[in-house]
Amino acid sequence: MIDIAADPYDLFTQWMQDAEASEPNDANAMTLATTTPGGHPSARIVLLKSWDPTGFVFYTNLESRKSAEIKANPAVALLFHWKSRGRQVRIEGTCVLVSDAEADAYFETRPRISQLGAWASDQSRPLATRGELEDRLAAVTARYGDGPIPRPPHWSGWHVAPLAIEFWENREFRLHDRAVFTRAATGWSATRLYP
């Protein structure tokens, strides 16, 4: 049973560790939901790269569709679904950019080809042919050679400060276990929910 007396970050950390032990790929994959300027929902999978008691961080191109939508409306939702565990976590919160130092530090840990790809790709914009992307990647590779690759100014991270974190665990006959933690002035309040 979900412990509603627990700290939601500690509970999330335990569930993430459980998922990492059982999910075949990308236990850190999460659905990121934003809204278009017209108010339409927009969702895609991104990878959680870090979390702590202040929130959850993912990285992306700041000129991408998702970033444009976040800049227009920083209220977002995240969803983790771990089928192998019969669990999901929903997070609702507000996005702010991570610091340049934090983005630089993470960028340095990325595989070299991913660093090059951050320079070569105009994420979310029309691409005439795959060859065009491959040509841009070759040009960026030639530009940096074997030297260090700096973080592009259009690439950074978003930090989601949660307002609510909901935990859901599968039970037989759809009598699931479900609880929501809501940010309060002095910490978190927790409520068990009907399934």
Is the separation of the CB atoms in 96 and 167 below 8 Å? no
Structural domain includes residue 171: yes
pLDDT value at residue 85: 94
pLDDT value at residue 150: 96
Structural domain includes residue 151: no
Range of the domain at 77: 8-99+157-192
Intervals of the chain under pLDDT 50: none
The catalytic position among 85, 87, 171, 174 is 174
Structural domain includes residue 53: yes
Structural domain includes residue 111: no
Annotated active-site residue 174? The verdict is yes
pLDDT value at residue 24: 85
Structural domain includes residue 68: yes
d(CA 45, CA 126): 20
3-state DSSP call for residue 101?
helix
- Give residue 147's region: left, alpha or beta (phi > 0; psi -120 to 50): beta
pLDDT value at residue 91: 98
d(CA 20, CA 31): 17
Q: Is beta strand 29-35 parallel, antiparallel or unpaired with respect to 75-82?
A: antiparallel
Structural domain includes residue 38: yes
Structural domain includes residue 55: yes
Question: Over the stretch 125-157, which tens digit does the pLDDT of each residue have?
Answer: 888 899 999 999 999 999 999 999 999 999 999
Structural domain includes residue 43: yes
Q: Which residues pair with 41 in a beta bridge?
A: 35
Burial of 116 (0-12, 13-18, 19+ CB in 10 A): buried
Number of domains in the chain: 1
Residue 187: CATH number of its domain: 2.30.110.10
No. of H helices and E strands in the chain?
A: 5, 9
For residue 143, give Cα distances in angstroms to 14, 38, 41, 120, 123: 43, 40, 39, 11, 20
